[in-house]
Chains A and B, each alone.
Chain A
Amino acid sequence: MCDMRQSLLRRDALSAAKEVLYHLDIYLSGQVQNSPSPSVDTTTLELVEEFILHRRMSALQELQLLEIMCSCFQEQSRDAVRQLIFSALFTLQGNQADESRMALLGKLVSMAIAVGRVPILECAATWLQRSHPVYCRRLARVLVDDYCSLLPGSMVPTLNNLSSSCPPFCCQFITAVTTLYDLSTEELTLPVQLLQMVVSWIRDHPRLVLITLLNTPPSSSQPIGSLDLTPLAGLVRWCVKAPLAYRRDGKQGLANGTTETELEAGPLFSELHLSVLQVLLLLPGILREKGLLGRLALLQPDQLTSLISDLSGDLEELNPLHSDTQTHIQLTLDRLAQALQVSMAAGALLCSREDLRALCSRLPHNNLLQLVMSGPVQQSGFYPHIHTPPLGYSPRPGPLGPHPSSHSPHTSFPSQPFLPSMAFPFRPSH
């Protein structure tokens, strides 16, 4: 290995990097063939860092290196070997090389999107599944900057095709961007081009949102602190907050004429929200098949808690005297109520109506939300037999996942309704 390093040192940056890639290919192929649990040794990692990540290269050399890497992944026929090479190059090591690692990764994935290198995008999807959300967001940011801000419009067909050519990447990418843009500030409000892309992906392939969940064996555990299995929670947040966020956006933009954003984004969010509900309805079947029905909360209570407290904050900031304010508030609450109800029915949200009442107690009045918090009136008499898969999912009493509802700040029966004058005629929840 020492010999190899010596010989590499004598080469120029590009050919050394090329040599390392070649070495990785041979070395890891051997590992996959001979070892039951193939891994990358430290020496190899050091070679990668020294000759690929740390060597200074001209822009042209860097472009050439990216091309070489592209074809290296493209030509590798064995998925396992490809994944190992990708991992050797880009798995974060917690050292100072990570910065250059991220920079190179961003350029490589961006290039792979542009030229349609599906094998690289598949590796990137896995990377997004295993890496810390902070880094996932950084990669997402790079891609959004490249495709939605730098070149808006020009790449639309290429980007739209991604949803059919590489759904796992799209799914992970959406999850990453939903955590990147939480709509809390103008800065964190997603560009309309990105929204258009996401909506079009999901319109064409609704199941794309569930692809990571579908591809993950039920037993395997997610690395702690990684992205969600699905972007559903993030998408719900987007749709619920959008009427308020874009309203705020629009208000600020009145002067420079960006109100069009609101006009454009409105119908897109409406469509996205419907898609989310429709995808949620697919869940019972999938979860039942995986034996996870009632055991896997795809929407976690703490996510809801933070969403609802965000909403409360947003609502307080709004000028209640503005003409459209009430309409936007009601739209937000309608969507929240719909998302809560359908998630509960689909088994994606594991909590009782009582928990809901506690969560939503400080929100303004909304008829649908009230109906959802109370639950349906139990119909007396004969219940016709239903042949279709039950769409209603009654939350079972019992463990509510890793975050018991007691963590919520509003667990107790609401003592302080948002509008004190309004009575809350709760009915029994089952």
Chain B
Amino acid sequence: MSAQKDCEFLVKRARDLVSEDPCAAKAWLITARTLYPTDFNIQHEMYTIERNAEKTASAGRLLYDMFINFPDQPVVWREITVITAALRSDCQDKQAQFLRGLFETLPGPVQCEVLLKATEQCFNTLEKAEMLLLLLRRFPESVVQHGVNLGDSLLEAETAEKLETPVNCFRKLFVCDVLPLIINNVDMRLPASLLLKYMLKAAEFYIGYVTRGPSADGQLQGKALNGSQEGGGMKSPSVSRGSQRYVIEGLSEKSSLVAEPWERLLDILAVVGARCEWQADKGQRGYVEMLQWVKELCCYLPSLEGETRSRCCSQVVICASLVLFRSAYLYVSAVQPALFHGVNALASGSWILLEDLSSVYSEVELERGAGKHAHKKRKLADGREKTMSSDDDEGMGKGRGRNIMVNKTEMPGWAETLESFRLARESWDLLQSHDSLGTEFNKICSSWKTDNWLWFRIFFTDMIIYQGHYRKALSSLLQMSGFQQPLPGQSSPGQGNLEHHRTLIQQASCHYALGEYRMACEKLLDVVGGLVPQNQDPVKNTDESGKDRNKPRKGNDLRLLPCTSKAILPFCLQLMFACFKLRAFTDSRDDLSLGHVVVLLQHDWPQGESLFLKAIDKICQQGSFQYENFFNYVTNIDMLEEFAYLRTTEGGRVQLELLPNQGMLIKNPSPALGGELNTLLLPGVQTTDRHHTVTRGITKGVKEDFRLAMERQVSRCGENLYTVLHRFCVNEKIIIIQSLP
């Protein structure tokens, strides 16, 4: 008999007994161990029995013995691997909980050693890091020795794996798990440069995390919905995307989740700030207060020198950058919610920042002032506004105190959104206020590649529009349309078109602001071609966010407009009108422009009544007026009446050439309902009051064809005005553009 045979015999007896009489089996093994205390199999068998019975305390004690006495046994290592895997996992099953409990029974130093040795055996960086993290969490004293190395190895792994996004498993582990341990450990002494580097890594991660795009399954969901809702009227409040799942590659769903990222970032900032000996604000908490504080600090910047100055610089740049990116994110998440994961994109669609043209029809006071129109009893509205023409030189001056109009009922969070926009702009301005700050900030931007952040470019573009840098805004928009196409979640036809329109409309708005009316019209007519006119008349926006409604607007206000056909078509009409308005009312005669203006004045009638009267006034002065499209697109009964009146003696016998092509009227009825309507309405027309009004004067010897055309036109009064104006934009696109220089 050899010792090995003895041991095999003893273990075998125990094994045979264990199911029938576990106590006897254990008695055998206890005896065996006193005989052969150095035999591994005996102890392993003891451990196996306790482990299978899930006796935490006794199994833990035996595991401890094995770990101490047989540190080189592969079986022990396999077991330790299983246990540490359970420690790292989120799994809540009984086995995993038992294994975690088992680990807890080990004495602290042994836990420490187990984790360290287990770490040494890991070849996968992520696993190794998770293992080491278990160690650091349990044994804060080990942070001093391993913390920075672990952090560096994670950051190196990120580089080595050529990961494109900062929202990756290594960075997540570094920022959310390792970094707090390092910076909160009182025994750690780290140079400020390293702390700042870590701070920026954390900020890049959290910003990337918050602004990550919708995930794959979210996209599918979005697509299906977009498909069913043609034209982007994405208003269905019943659809929520809140339940989207998001997983960082290499991590579990649970550990991919980062709660309150902005708050965590602020926590890190507070600690790093204290460690870097930044100027502390008393009780400074929150991004808004932080911006105020660094603004104050900035005042002292010119008087500082050397290290104090560079320390102050870093503080201002980092704090202001974080406020900038956070506020810009908040703004863009309200304006373009579909860009982000987890933001409820369907509840509120996107919004476009444009020149505010809502009062364009009521403007009467033109460049050179307008003479009073004597005609009729109507009074001219008391307009004080001027159309705006702007260029980059004027821009800066305009950037101060511009109002941004928004419909409060359509955008419930308007106040917060505008406040975020303001904070972001102020942070930006602060960062540009000194060369040294700008340089530092640009370094951050280039290392984070913020140029590729679509969401930030959206903010940036809106900001420079606000500042009046329209030329810059146009080039920014051009760049944006470059990388907007492959944007995830927006490939569906409806949404995609509207997003594309977004850029075009903003471009149109900028061109208009620069006085480039032809370009503006080109862009907007591209947009209008793709819109579907809405049937109902637009509800007048009554609840507006203007700062002071009693104060007259300065004419350089902006407006946030929902990105829907319903809102965009009216805006396009206003914009087109604005482009022609100046031209139409100049001293030189331009009947085509004046005609377009008359057509467009129908929109939002009677807002533009006084301007219409001004046009009539001009026609009277001219003595004649030629606009061959008149009967195609003017269906407004008041206008028709006015033009009919012009031909009478009382009206001044104005010579109107409005129907060179009667055939066109007939050949080109409204494709959907115009033809039918004509015949349907004709008999009834005779009996209406309108008929009486319109025909006033016609009986006094006007030409028969004009009278007929007028009567026919009256029958079209029921036509949807938007359909008529939309057709005007589509059919007359070339003429419209050509009539602008």
- Name A's B-contacting residues (CB within 8 A): 267, 270-271, 273-274, 277-278, 281, 334-335, 337-338, 341-342, 344-346, 367-368, 371-372, 375-379, 383-384, 386-388, 390-392, 425
* B68 contacts A274, C-beta separation under 8 Å: no
* A267 contacts B21, C-beta separation under 8 Å: yes
* B65 contacts A341, C-beta separation under 8 Å: no
Counting contact residues on chain B (CB < 8 A from A), the size range is 20 to 34
Neighbouring B residues of A278 by C-beta, 8 Å: 30
- Name B's A-contacting residues (CB within 8 A): 1-3, 6, 9-10, 13, 21, 23-24, 26-28, 30-31, 33-38, 65, 68-70
* A345 contacts B23, C-beta separation under 8 Å: no
- The answer to whether A386 and B69 touch (CB under 8 A), given A267-B21, A377-B2, is yes
A411 to B34, CA, bound (A): 25
- The answer to whether A386 and B23 touch (CB under 8 A), given A277-B31, A367-B9, is no
Neighbouring B residues of A277 by C-beta, 8 Å: 27, 30-31
Minimum C-beta distance from A350 to chain B (A): 15
* A342 contacts B9, C-beta separation under 8 Å: no
* A384 contacts B21, C-beta separation under 8 Å: no
- The answer to whether A274 and B27 touch (CB under 8 A), given A267-B21, A391-B33, is yes
- Selected from A367, A375, A387, the residue in CB contact (under 8 A) with B69 is A387
Q: How many A-B residue pairs have CB under 8 A?
A: 84
A-B pairs with beta carbons under 8 Å apart, 19 shown: A267-B23, A273-B27, A274-B30, A281-B30, A281-B34, A334-B28, A335-B27, A338-B30, A341-B35, A345-B34, A368-B10, A368-B31, A371-B9, A372-B31, A376-B3, A377-B3, A379-B3, A388-B69, A425-B1
- The answer to whether A270 and B38 touch (CB under 8 A), given A342-B31, A368-B31, is no
Neighbouring B residues of A390 by C-beta, 8 Å: 37
Nearest chain-A residue to B21 (Cβ)? A270
A344 to B87, CA, bound (A): 41
A378 to B30, CA, bound (A): 19
A386 to B65, CA, bound (A): 9
Neighbouring B residues of A384 by C-beta, 8 Å: 38, 69-70
Nearest chain-B residue to A278 (Cβ)? B30
Minimum C-beta distance from A321 to chain B (A): 25
Which applies to chain A's interface (DSSP): helix, strand, loop or mixed?
Answer: helix
Neighbouring B residues of A375 by C-beta, 8 Å: 35
A347 to B35, CA, bound (A): 14
Minimum C-beta distance from A33 to chain B (A): 47
- Selected from A271, A368, A386, A392, the residue in CB contact (under 8 A) with B34 is A392
- Selected from A334, A338, A372, A391, the residue in CB contact (under 8 A) with B37 is A391
Neighbouring A residues of B36 by C-beta, 8 Å: 376, 379
Minimum C-beta distance from A357 to chain B (A): 16
A366 to B31, CA, bound (A): 15
Which applies to chain B's interface (DSSP): helix, strand, loop or mixed?
Answer: helix
Q: Can you add 8 more A-B contacts, CB < 8 Å, to A278-B30, A371-B35? A: A267-B21, A277-B27, A277-B31, A281-B34, A338-B30, A341-B35, A376-B35, A386-B37
A271 to B21, CA, bound (A): 9
Nearest chain-A residue to B67 (Cβ)? A387
Neighbouring A residues of B27 by C-beta, 8 Å: 270, 273-274, 277, 335, 338
- Selected from B1, B24, B35, B38, the residue in CB contact (under 8 A) with A386 is B38
Among B9, B28, B31, B37: residue with most chain A CB under 10 A: B31
Neighbouring A residues of B37 by C-beta, 8 Å: 386, 390-392
* A338 contacts B31, C-beta separation under 8 Å: yes
Minimum C-beta distance from A206 to chain B (A): 12
Minimum C-beta distance from B34 to chain A (A): 4
Neighbouring B residues of A376 by C-beta, 8 Å: 3, 6, 35-36
Nearest chain-A residue to B5 (Cβ)? A377
Neighbouring B residues of A342 by C-beta, 8 Å: 30-31, 34
- Ranked nearest first, the 3 interchain pairs of A and B with the lowest CB-CB distance are A345-B34, A377-B3, A274-B23
* B23 contacts A273, C-beta separation under 8 Å: yes
Nearest chain-B residue to A272 (Cβ)? B23
A425 to B21, CA, bound (A): 31
Nearest chain-B residue to A271 (Cβ)? B23
A425 to B24, CA, bound (A): 27
Nearest chain-A residue to B68 (Cβ)? A387
* B68 contacts A377, C-beta separation under 8 Å: no
A271 to B37, CA, bound (A): 23
* A379 contacts B9, C-beta separation under 8 Å: no
- The answer to whether A341 and B31 touch (CB under 8 A), given A367-B9, A377-B2, A379-B3, is yes
A338 to B27, CA, bound (A): 7
A335 to B17, CA, bound (A): 14
Neighbouring A residues of B3 by C-beta, 8 Å: 376-379
- Selected from A267, A377, A391, the residue in CB contact (under 8 A) with B6 is A377
A274 to B3, CA, bound (A): 24
A412 to B33, CA, bound (A): 29
Among A273, A346, A376: residue with most chain B CB under 10 A: A376
Nearest chain-A residue to B65 (Cβ)? A388
Nearest chain-A residue to B28 (Cβ)? A338
Neighbouring B residues of A371 by C-beta, 8 Å: 1, 6, 9-10, 35
* A337 contacts B21, C-beta separation under 8 Å: no
Neighbouring B residues of A281 by C-beta, 8 Å: 30, 34
A368 to B35, CA, bound (A): 11
Minimum C-beta distance from B550 to chain A (A): 84
Neighbouring B residues of A334 by C-beta, 8 Å: 24, 28
A267 to B23, CA, bound (A): 8
Neighbouring A residues of B30 by C-beta, 8 Å: 274, 277-278, 281, 338, 342
A384 to B34, CA, bound (A): 15
A371 to B36, CA, bound (A): 11
A425 to B1, CA, bound (A): 10
Minimum C-beta distance from B290 to chain A (A): 54
* B38 contacts A379, C-beta separation under 8 Å: yes
A385 to B34, CA, bound (A): 16
Minimum C-beta distance from A35 to chain B (A): 49
A341 to B31, CA, bound (A): 6
Minimum C-beta distance from B32 to chain A (A): 9
Neighbouring A residues of B38 by C-beta, 8 Å: 379, 383-384, 386
Minimum C-beta distance from B723 to chain A (A): 90
A129 to B741, CA, bound (A): 121
Neighbouring A residues of B26 by C-beta, 8 Å: 274
Nearest chain-A residue to B64 (Cβ)? A388
* A388 contacts B68, C-beta separation under 8 Å: yes
Minimum C-beta distance from B613 to chain A (A): 104
Minimum C-beta distance from A372 to chain B (A): 7
A378 to B4, CA, bound (A): 11
A392 to B13, CA, bound (A): 21
Minimum C-beta distance from A165 to chain B (A): 23
Minimum C-beta distance from B29 to chain A (A): 10
